[in-house]
Structure 1
Amino acid sequence: AVPPGRRAVLTVGSEVSLAQPLLLDWVRWMRGSLPDIALRVHVDVPRDLINQVASGMVDLAIMYAPPHRPGLKIDLLLEEKLVLVTTNSEARLLDESDYVYMDWGPDFELHHGMNFPSAAPDLSFDLGPLALSYVLATGGSGYFRMSSVRPHMEAGRLHLVPEMPQFSYPVYAVQSASSDESVVGPALAGLHSVASADIKL
């Protein structure tokens, strides 16, 4: 049901690793710029999230590498970079003794394997914020999104490992092709605006 004083309810979602800061910043933008739209905010794993968009349970979702399906509209939001960072300012190579492997999906796994064929990390994560928190707390290195590590690099807690490969990490907005454009359209425009601001932060 639509709450009193609101013209519509919009359910927005994201993958867990994209909830901070992008989903949070978007929700803040929505509350300030589209106050007549009530919001439900949902975070889930990619497979469930894409099914929820397809079924209409979620109106608009932020995802990495969503599968193309009939009935879905997919917009490129931003092209992030995954970069190798370390707590050791002297590091010049991928050091397996303290390397934390973050599973950024099949594309990353493929390109990582091509660039580091002999790497056999013994610690891996499938949630970026958790892996980054581990590296910051205990020391080490790993591949993370540039936007999430930039503040730590500026503060001197993390350092970019020079001349190491960087990998593309495109982020998309996914919606049902049958969604209400009068509601989803302004929300998507705001998401594009927030995404372009976040990538420059």
Structure 2
Amino acid sequence: MLTVGSELTLAQPLLLDWVRWIRQSIPDIALRVHVDVPRDLIDQVASGMVDAAIMYAPQHRPGLEIDLLMEEKLVLATSDPAMDLKKTSYVHTDWGPDFALHRDMNFPDVEPDLSFDFGPLALSYVLASGGYGYFRMSAVKPHLAAGQLHLVPGMPQYSYPVYMVRSANADDGVLGPALAGLRAISEGNA
């Protein structure tokens, strides 16, 4: 049995694509998929309850191997292409301490009207109610193509890396092929 996990915000599409790949490419492996909050997920990988997890900012611990999978970008997007930063509702998403530091340096006078700790919910709010905020480019792309959102020109973009975390003691015979598939998916080669 292979148990794979993901932070909630990564559950789609990366985790879903990975699970589909495993089912098609390694059908003889029983699979358990687990989605959880980062702190609990890292505990489960460290304890061996979860074999591998996809995470944004994993806590480094002895006995864990952490590898960069891909770099996401956080971009400033708005529902109104003619918006005024000072007059439009800023919807803040807690993307972690690094993002908060950079955002505060670049926008010291912008106070959020509303704060979320879950990016997909913040994005849904902006789509339904208007405003602007920082979101993952992969989540924004379909809304840009549909004309529902617009990138704010000249605004900084921030790196938001995605990592694969596994126990250093994991069984490579089972986990190795699954991780190779995850790498291929994250690089767009699967």
Fold in common (TM above 0.5): yes
- How far residue 96 of structure 1 moved from its aligned partner, in angstroms, is 5.7
Q: Is 1:84–1:160's contact at 8 Å kept on the other side of the alignment?
A: yes
Aligned length: 189
C-alpha offsets along residues 148-194 of structure 1, whole Å, 9 cap, x if unaligned?
A: 11111011111000000100000100000000001111111111111
Distance 2:86 2:158 in 1: 18
RMSD: 1.3
SS in 2 for 1:134: helix
Q: Which runs of 5+ in 1 are unaligned?
A: 1-8
Counterpart of 1:148 in structure 2: which amino acid? A
- How far residue 116 of structure 1 moved from its aligned partner, in angstroms, is 0.8
The residue that corresponds to 1:132 in the other structure is 123
- 1:193 aligned to which of 160, 184, 188: 184
- 1:79 aligned to which of 54, 71, 74: 71
Counterpart of 1:151 in structure 2: which amino acid? P
C-alpha offsets along residues 98-156 of structure 1, whole Å, 9 cap, x if unaligned?
A: 11101111111111111111121120111111111111111111101111111110111
Q: Is 1:96–1:120's contact at 8 Å kept on the other side of the alignment?
A: no
- How far residue 95 of structure 1 moved from its aligned partner, in angstroms, is 4.4
Q: Is 1:72–1:177's contact at 8 Å kept on the other side of the alignment?
A: yes
Q: Is 2:88–2:132's contact at 8 Å kept on the other side of the alignment?
A: no
Instruction: Report the TM-score when normalising by structure 1.
Output: 0.90
Counterpart of 2:185 in structure 1: which amino acid? V
The residue that corresponds to 2:103 in the other structure is 112
SS in 2 for 1:48: helix
Q: Which runs of 5+ in 2 are unaligned?
A: none
Counterpart of 1:146 in structure 2: which amino acid? M
Q: Is the counterpart of residue 63 in structure 1 residue 72 in structure 2?
A: no
- How far residue 33 of structure 1 moved from its aligned partner, in angstroms, is 1.0
Q: Is the counterpart of residue 100 in structure 1 residue 91 in structure 2?
A: yes
Distance 2:179 2:156 in 1: 32
The residue that corresponds to 2:146 in the other structure is 155
